[in-house]
A and B are shown apart, each in its own frame.
Chain A
Amino acid sequence: MTTIENVVLVHGAFVDGSGWQGVYDELARDGFRVRVVQNPTVSLAGDVAATRHVLDALDGPAVLVGHSYGGAVISEAGTHANVAALVYVAAFAPDKGESVGTLIADPPPGAPVPPILPPRDGFLHLDRDRFHGAFAADLPAQLAAFMADAQVPWGVDALAGAVTEPAWRHRPSWYLVATEDRMIPPPAQRAMAERAGSFVVEAIGSHAVHVSQPAAVAELIRQAAA
């Protein structure tokens, strides 16, 4: 049995790839070759291209990991020949024709509404004053404040980009549910994971679970690579 040695990490909306530092450290120590995609989050097509660019350069199969909106990116880019397994971390897993926009269009009653401000010049922002509570409640206030002020604007085209052929229909998938997520409701995460037939692990964590619990995320990636 050959195990997978490459891991490609795709970040989500409002953040950049530096949030993967903890996961990167865990996996690099184990000998994985880890690449972090710096996807611009302007459009889904652009992010898929950025991810394929990284995948093209690999010498063998990889685990492709997406956080949050990054889940839509890996669902579209994951049909790449070098992708052997998918890992969703508190992420969207759209089906054919679905976009993040359609998935969040009808939130279940009572679900917390993410504090996304109305679009400005084609970009969305998170209300910086509510960033800590909504996005990263389990991170220290100081770090959350930095992330709020360093946030990357999210293009409305990225939100609207529909997946054409979901990779989770063709690749085995793993899913980490963040039980205290106030951006993507945990029941929605569980439903998407079940639809994709993913192997599910839950962690008590905020939407920024990849920052607060890198060990749990890394363990699931190891499992996907085994």
Chain B
Amino acid sequence: MVPITDPLSFAEVLRRHRHAARLTLEQLAEASGVSARSLSNMERGRSRGPQQRTVTAIADALALDEIVRKQFVGLARDGRLRDHWTRPTGLCALPRSVGDFTGRSAELAWTNDLVHAGASPGAAGVGLITGPAGLGKTTFAVRAAHTLRPDFPDGVFFLDLFGMSSQPVGGGEALALLLRALGVADHEIPNDVPDRASLYRSLLEGKRVLVVLDNAASEEQIRPLLPSGGHGRVLITSRRLLAGLEGVRRLSLGPLPVAEATELLTGIVGDRSESDGEPALTQLAQLCGGLPLALRIIGNRLVSRPGWSAAELAARLANEERRLEQLSAGDLKIANAFGMSYEQLAASARQVFRRLALVPGRDFDAALAAVAGGISAEDAWDALDELVDLGLLQDGASGRYRFHDLVRLFARDRLQAEDTAAERDALIETVTSWLLRMATTAGRWFEPAYGRPDRPDADLADLSSPEQADRWLRVNVDNWLGALRHAASGGLHSAVLDCAESMYWFSDRWMHAPYWQEVFTLGAEAAAALGDPARQATQMNLLAWVHLVPRDDPETTLRYTARAIDLATRSGATTQIASAHHHAGGALRRLRRLDEAIAAETQAAQIHKANGDMDRYCHSLASLGTCLLDAGDHTKALEQYLDVLTLLNDDRSGITPSVAAFNRPIVLARVGECLGLLGHRAEAITKLTEAIGLMEQAKLPVPQARSLKTLAALLADEGRTGESRDAYARAAEVYEAIGDAEASSRCRELAAASSQPPRAG
């Protein structure tokens, strides 16, 4: 996906244009109003993505013609995006601190005391920063965390809990994200929230780690995320006091004092502060109530529209305040500050801005903004650039944008006031339909029967590879899930069911995501509403899978398979009957009800065979082998696996070649395992060695690690100590690569326990 030939960089193009115009850095600085130092940073590639207004000023000063100018502005935009790509993208990475952070020294001292206070009883090193919106709680917490970084050699993590959104991050999901950031592999994350919490606590206890939990919603959300003593420290921000939390020190964050507020504003407006004069800026700072969010928006407003002086803007703000003085002080000041920027937007940008309030998810990209705004993607880019310049939107990672909660409220308020109910409804319908069709198209990339869409709807964003489809589904999950919910509540059953069905294969790629139960439940309800028991049975089987595999809850699985069998029997959907038996077999095996499991898998295999569905038939036979192996019937298990292997090796069996290629090494390894258990060690070693080679080629590290471990044990039993040690060491490597640290260290210990020195070479 990385282009092989890199096009000219923004830095290079800027330098060429400047030379062509025969300007020195100082002369260009003079003409553009952009400082020589900033220009020099850009030309040296140190600032690859300057803001839109800066780029426009430079383009004006260079008198670029329209086409060249467009390229120039586009390059800067690409640079901004690339900048985002190269930002720390580690899990739960702490965002950058703002460069012009101002004041708050007593607050920083408070957090410093907090993390260094000994773990006295009742004080577990947890601080809560509380206060109303727009005070800069997040900015402060990020700054504090950067300041404290040297004290936390094991890491500083940051997690936005989206406390003010309609879908705050759940405690269990938050734990999964943090555990992943702390180095726990997906498959090692426990299913239960209490188990996750205790693993998290034990990790936090032994590590010097600082966790910033931003924008917390409630006590229930936060409680499992708190440490229980030890070295770990937690900083929380919330608009609420979260009075139900104990052992937490609370700091009520206040507005910036006038002097610091003025200093912040002066910094934002930069060079023009001299002409505006301190009294006018002080007055503006006071009118913004010392709220950093309002100060930023007013400051950006001044910078982007040089025609207005600070004094004029202050006079207008003061007027507004008198007009609306019955509103609450803080909210009013902020709304007024937003209003000053909103009014200066072009009508089309205003429309995009307020309509973006209807996007269901937490953030969005230009394609979605174009749909919501009813404009072209090109125009959406320009509108988004302008909104970011004004501070009305924040640009996040990888070309995605988001609102501050208060700005979204303001946008929603404008939408309510300026668009009719019919317009709003139509807009919601458009956005919902687009998101569902995007998700369905993306999901079908992974369906064997679909893949790349032949003729995607013309209005959809282009997804040209499975990687892009995968990425779109992941980063937009709260958007398409929001659309799915909306469509379900609005009775758009067909679209809901199509979308849920399209996730059949994709859900397997992203099995640890917490969304699948909801997706397939909505799908099942839609199928029921449509009176289609066959399709409902499919959704029930997916729900059975959700509970069997990612959730490890076999009892619930069996309830779903029973419903699936009932629905599928009524509609004669034999494939679904077989799938339900197969899932039930898996659940029964987990419950150690092996006779029933064997019966269920046998039934599944028979139906698939009768249907001529050889891929699934083969799969059921392999599962049957696993049940027999578990039951201790190694002879029968071996027969079973050998039968499957014969089928897999038969070109005319009717099995899809890719399915056969995938399963062959796995089944071969199982044959080896059975032989080993039956005492045929030499033969077992041969089969396992062959299987491991095939797995290496096919890149199947999970079964490979298991097979290496089995092989190592067999080699040790044979007295081939050196080879055994090598196999354990290799198993440890593979386990480590798949993130199973525990198994890896176990294998390493076993390798070390071997008495002989390793072979030379």
Contacts and interface: CB of A to CB of B under 8 A. Distances in A.
Interface stretch (B251-259, B385-393, B489-497): B251-259
A223 B243 contact: yes
Given A216-B131, A223-B243, A180 B106 contact: yes
Given A29-B328, A220-B241, A223-B241, A215 B106 contact: no
A213 B106 CA distance: 15
B466 to A, nearest CB: 51
Interface string B253-285: 111011000000000000000000000000000
Given A138-B257, A223-B243, A215 B249 contact: no
A201 B107 contact: no
Contacts of A15: none
Nearest to B241: A223
A213 B254 contact: yes
Interface in A206-225: 212-213, 215-216, 219-220, 223
A203 interface: yes
Contacts of A226: 243
B703 interface: no
Interface in B685-701: none
A203 B243 contact: no
A202 B123 CA distance: 14
Given A176-B252, A213-B252, A216-B252, A204 B107 contact: yes
Contact of A215 (B107, B132, B241): B132
Contacts of B106: 179-180, 204
Interface in B90-133: 106-107, 110, 130-132
B136 interface: no
Interface string B320-340: 000000001110000000000
Contacts of B255: 215
Contacts of B254: 203-205, 212-213, 215-216
B257 A201 contact: no
A209 B412 CA distance: 35
B563 interface: no
A219 B110 contact: no
Interface centre among B107, B131, B254, B258 (most CB of A within 10 A): B254
A219 B250 contact: no
Contacts of B257: 138
A32 interface: no
Nearest to A205: B254
Nearest to A176: B252
Interface in B489-524: none
A199 interface: yes
Question: DSSP majority for the B interface?
Answer: mixed
Contacts of B131: 215-216, 219
A213 B254 CA distance: 7
A184 B131 CA distance: 24
Given A179-B110, A216-B131, A204 B251 contact: yes
A205 B252 CA distance: 10
A200 interface: yes
A201 B252 contact: yes
A216 B254 CA distance: 7
A223 B258 CA distance: 28
A202 B257 CA distance: 17
Nearest to A22: B329
Nearest to B242: A223
Interface string A114-144: 0000000000000000000000001010000
A200 B250 CA distance: 7
Nearest to A200: B250
A199 B252 contact: no
A41 B241 CA distance: 33
Contacts of A205: 254
Interface string B688-723: 000000000000000000000000000000000000
Contacts of A215: 131-132, 254-255, 330
B110 A201 contact: no
B328 A202 contact: no
Interface in B61-102: none
A201 B330 contact: no
A10 to B, nearest CB: 21
A93 B257 CA distance: 29
A179 B250 CA distance: 12
Interface string B738-761: 000000000000000000000000
B290 to A, nearest CB: 11
Contact of B252 (A25, A29, A138, A202): A202
B243 A199 contact: yes
A85 to B, nearest CB: 12
Contact of A202 (B132, B249, B258, B329): B249
B235 to A, nearest CB: 14
Contacts of A25: 329
B330 A203 contact: no
A201 B250 contact: yes
Nearest to B114: A202
Interface in B132-147: 132
Interface centre among B130, B243, B252 (most CB of A within 10 A): B252
A190 B182 CA distance: 35
A212 B131 CA distance: 15
B252 A219 contact: yes
A204 B130 CA distance: 12
B250 A202 contact: yes
Nearest to A216: B252
Given A179-B110, A216-B131, A223-B243, A201 B328 contact: no
Nearest to B327: A29
B263 to A, nearest CB: 16
9 contacts: A201-B251, A202-B249, A202-B251, A212-B254, A213-B254, A215-B255, A216-B252, A216-B254, A219-B130
Q: Which 5 A-B pairs give the minimum distances between C-beta atoms? A: A216-B252, A203-B252, A201-B250, A204-B106, A213-B254
